Structure 1
Amino acid sequence: MTDVYADGAGAGAGADGEGDGGGAGAEAGEIRRFWEALGLPGLVDVHTHFMPERVLRKVWEYFDALGPLTGGMEWPIRYREEEAERAALLREFGVRAFTAMLYPHKPGMARWLNGWAVDFARRTPDCLHTATLFPEPGVETCVREAVEAGARVFKAHVQVGAYDPADELLDRAWGLLAEAGVPVVIHCGSGPTPGKHTGPEPIARVLARHPRLRLIVAHMGMPEYEEFLGLAERYGEVRLDTTMAFTDFTERFMPFPRRALPRLTTLADRVLLGSDFPNIPYPYLHQLHALERLDLGEEWLRGVCHDNAAELFGL
């Protein structure tokens, strides 16, 4: 959801009923107690944002201005620190591996962003080397270069990019990623505001052509939760990330249907922790508490918070 971002009070009062309680250090202690109680070695977060600083600043400015892709909602960016501080904070939380979700909104950006991502991955070994793509001439070559450079996960943003994921320009790129087994975190649901090509239907067309493509549907596909759960039930390589789902913030306007909770247990090995850090309007801890209060059991929580992603990425 905060794949197009906002500003605000970073270190101010807590949100969604969870106060700072002494700041980031106190929150880090609570987060560590959470995963230690589950017997985990830490967390794996498949949906965190790192990108060139000038790009990230523009994204934050877009949120400050309440741009239309945010649905006109205000949410202050909780963790508006410099790049090194943000990475250090994730480590303090006990996040063993995270991603650099970056994405182009126009032709000509993807190769440049991928070049930045190579350097970021080199200097940030606990970040899963992330790459991106855009439907433009040469996209297959761009994707191949990124895979050969060591990309372990891709990010695709249908809403911001305003493109059809089933565009023929992308077909060979999807096939390359399916063959390589490289997962793709894709924002394709219609939240917080729908785009021309968001929703399950375009993704269903992609999967019909590439059934082995390892798609990770961002934000649980909100608000089309049940439709994207259906795609995961149909295609064994489709997964969903929890980014902003189930939180007090999101439940106010795109609630997850309670009737679908049993389907989350059926897909227990294909739900992955995502947070949208740093661009969230509440403490990182709140996402974990939101998952815990679903009351789907400790085994389910262990899989979501660590084990599923650790297996997927060979951690």
Structure 2
Amino acid sequence: MIHRSLKALALTLLLGACAGGGVAEITAAPPAPPVRGAMHTDMVAKRVFGGVPLPSSQPSQPIGAYSRGCQAGAVQLPETGPTWQAMRLSRNRNWAQPQTVAFIEDLSRFAATLPGWQGLYVGDMSQPRGGPMTSGHASHQTGLDIDVWMNPPSRLNLSAQEREDISAIDMQRAGGAYVNDRWDAEHEALLRHAAEDPRVARIFLFPGAKVHMCQTATGDRSWLRKIRPWFGHNDHFHVRLNCPAGASGCADQDPIPAGDGCAEAQTWVDNILHPPPPDPNAPAAEPRRDLTLADLPGQCMGVLSGG
């Protein structure tokens, strides 16, 4: 709930934070001291967005691309619901677009019907106004990304401290080429249910899990195409929703290639087990620079000053 005055919010609007990167869950960076004064387009975006404690008082809208955008009018996933708990509350990343929160509620209700599952542990979503995060993700900027932990919750009354201390469980073996013995049919059922939801654009998961499901899935296999292999997603799966209808400022990703994607996933696994030799002629990778406010859609400046 927004319970601070606009004046109080203005005084806390610009906060800094430590460097980020990557896409996996990592320890949150400690907050940096406030940055006062006017915003400039050459400011590092994560230092601005990462310190805003509350959403803008604007109509809900995802703006820009998943890895280069922001969100207006975000809503907060309640810390605890009948079939979910938000984890790592100290990060203040349980904010998203209304349809994202609705999706989590729906998926968690399904999860609670699975043997041994009481619902879901929900990891990072987005910051209150989206934008680049202070640590841990390149995406999650528009309120349409969700990390769901692989843990089958046996209880949904974790204290705030327990949610900081507990870890998501690792499901991979051999560097992500295979699933380990923690993987079971309920994980596949949960992922299938999520992928069959028309709101979902794609789901990122470590390659061995995709290959395993390619080997075990029966019946209609069309949902498998939404499961996309990606490193770092071995203790959670990352759900990305489509831009909602009418969100003209939201940029969807390119369509997923035709087919179930199983051959592609097998190539990932083959490269894990038998890494190809490095190309001596390949150019050196350039270090990723921090996005500035100028790199984001112009509407994001309005989101930052939007009450």
| Bin of the TM-score, shorter chain as denominator length | 0.3 to 0.5
Structure 1 length-normalised TM: 0.31
More helix by proportion, 1 or 2? 1
